[in-house]
Structure formats: structure tokens, C-alpha cells
């Protein structure tokens, strides 16, 4: 199901859709952090409804935003930790940032930009996709870590089967498509 879903996503979604994500990934690679401009681009890319956090983020000094996100970038890239643990550490590091305290969609987009070959984006559609492949995800603290555990489980199993899916991002795209 996951392999077919990823193929469906690739056929039906224009390559240009992810251009903002790729630009942010390039900047994070150079700078080691995300700034307000990067967060704004990912906010648009992820199509997240704006809450009161937008004004709080805009009034936060850029240096402070970059300081918080630099810690998250380092955590996401920490190859000394298993991927779910690195994801959880990066998620925790983002808590001081407005817009990332509740929900995992925006935070996971920032984490993906930090480590695009290792991390995945969480959203309601990906969660529905997990349920479609009989991997339910429960709510509560640590949800992003649990999500990454399931994504990693899928990625490893698919790689072992020679399915042509090698990254957590490919798994999350497939889950997103399944959950649509």
C-alpha cells in the first residue's frame, strides 16, 4: 500500500509544490538554523492555519529564533541517537518557539528541513495513512516520537523488501497520500 501510495503522490502532485521546502533545506544546510523567513515559508508550504502564535513569533528577535532552532537542527542531525530519539530531542528543543508548543505539524516541518534524509513530516493525513496500514498512533505527549518510530518501522521493512523506498520522507509522503 505504501509503495503504491508514494507512486500515486508522485503522479498527482507537481514537483514544484515542494520548492519552498527545498529552498529552506538549502538555507538550513548553510546556516545550521532556521529563521523567521524559513518558518514562514514552511508555514505556507504546510498550509497551517495561523493562530495567535504568528504575532508572538514575529516579535521574537531573529537571534533568539535562530538560537532555538539551531539546537533543534543539531538534535535532528545527531547520528549518535536512533532517529525517533533524535526526532524527540529536536521536538523538545522547539518548545520555546511560538507555533510549536502544541501540535506537531509545523514543528515536524522544521525538523524535516533540519534533517531531510532522516526525518518526516507529521499531519492528520499521514496519521490516517498509518491507520490504513494498521499502525494506529495515539495522541498525547511524545506523539511525534511515536510517529517517527512507526515511520522508521515502515522505512526499514520496505528497504528490507527492496521496495524502492529509502527515506522517512518517502514514507511520510506515501502515508499522506493514503490518508487523503
Domain boundary among 114, 144, 159: 114
- Band (pLDDT 50/70/90 cuts) for residue 78 is very high
84 and 135 both lie in a single domain: no
Q: Give yes or no for residue 138 having a pLDDT over 70.
A: yes
The stretch 53-71 carries a mean pLDDT of 90
List phi, psi (to 5°) of 117. -90, 0
104 and 150 both lie in a single domain: no
- Band (pLDDT 50/70/90 cuts) for residue 53 is confident
Q: What is the pLDDT of residue 122?
A: 96
Q: Which residue has the cell 528577535?
A: 61
Domain boundary among 114, 143, 168: 114
69 and 82 both lie in a single domain: yes
Q: Give yes or no for residue 49 having a pLDDT over 70.
A: no
Which one has a higher pLDDT value, 40 or 52? Answer: 40
70 and 100 both lie in a single domain: yes
Helix (H) or strand (E) holding 134: none
- Band (pLDDT 50/70/90 cuts) for residue 87 is very high
- 3-48 tens-digit pLDDT: 999 999 999 988 888 888 999 999 999 999 999 999 888 888 877 7
The stretch 55-79 carries a mean pLDDT of 93
- Cell readout for 84 is 525517533
Query: What is the number of domains present in the chain?
Result: 2
147 and 109 both lie in a single domain: no
Which one has a higher pLDDT value, 27 or 55? Answer: 27
Length of the chain measured in residues = 180
Distance separating alpha carbons of residues 17 and 60, to the nearest angstrom: 29
Q: Give yes or no for residue 50 having a pLDDT over 90.
A: no
Alpha helix ranges (H) inside 32-167:
36-46, 53-58, 62-76, 83-93, 105-114, 124-132, 143-160
Among the listed ranges 35-49, 70-84, 129-143, 148-162, which one has the minimum average pLDDT value?
35-49
84 and 127 both lie in a single domain: no
Q: Where are the beta strands (DSSP E) in the chain?
A: none
166 is in which domain, residue-wise? 2-13+121-178
Amino acid at each position: 500500500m505504501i509503495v503504491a501510495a508514494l507512486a500515486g503522490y508522485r503522479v498527482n502532485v507537481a514537483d514544484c509544490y515542494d520548492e519552498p521546502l527545498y529552498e529552506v533545506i538549502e538555507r538550513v544546510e548553510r546556516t545550521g538554523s532556521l529563521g523567521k523567513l524559513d518558518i514562514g515559508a514552511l508555514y505556507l508550504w504546510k498550509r497551517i492555519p495561523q493562530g495567535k502564535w504568528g504575532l508572538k513569533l514575529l516579535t521574537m528577535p531573529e537571534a533568539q529564533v535562530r538560537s532555538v532552532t539551531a539546537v533543534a537542527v543539531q538534535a535532528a542531525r545527531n547520528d549518535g541517537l536512533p532517529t525517533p530519539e533524535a526526532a524527540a530531542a529536536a521536538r523538545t528543543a522547539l518548545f520555546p518557539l511560538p507555533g510549536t508548543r502544541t501540535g506537531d505539524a509545523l514543528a515536524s516541518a522544521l525538523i524535516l528541513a533540519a534533517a531531510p534524509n532522516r526525518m518526516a513530516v507529521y499531519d492528520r493525513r499521514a496519521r490516517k495513512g498509518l491507520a490504513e496500514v494498521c499502525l494506529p498512533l495515539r495522541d498525547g505527549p511524545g506523539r511525534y516520537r511515536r510517529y517517527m518510530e512507526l515511520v522508521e518501522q515502515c522505512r526499514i521493512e520496505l528497504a528490507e523488501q527492496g521496495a524502492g523506498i529509502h527515506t522517512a520522507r518517502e514514507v511520510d509522503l506515501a502515508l499522506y497520500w493514503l490518508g487523503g
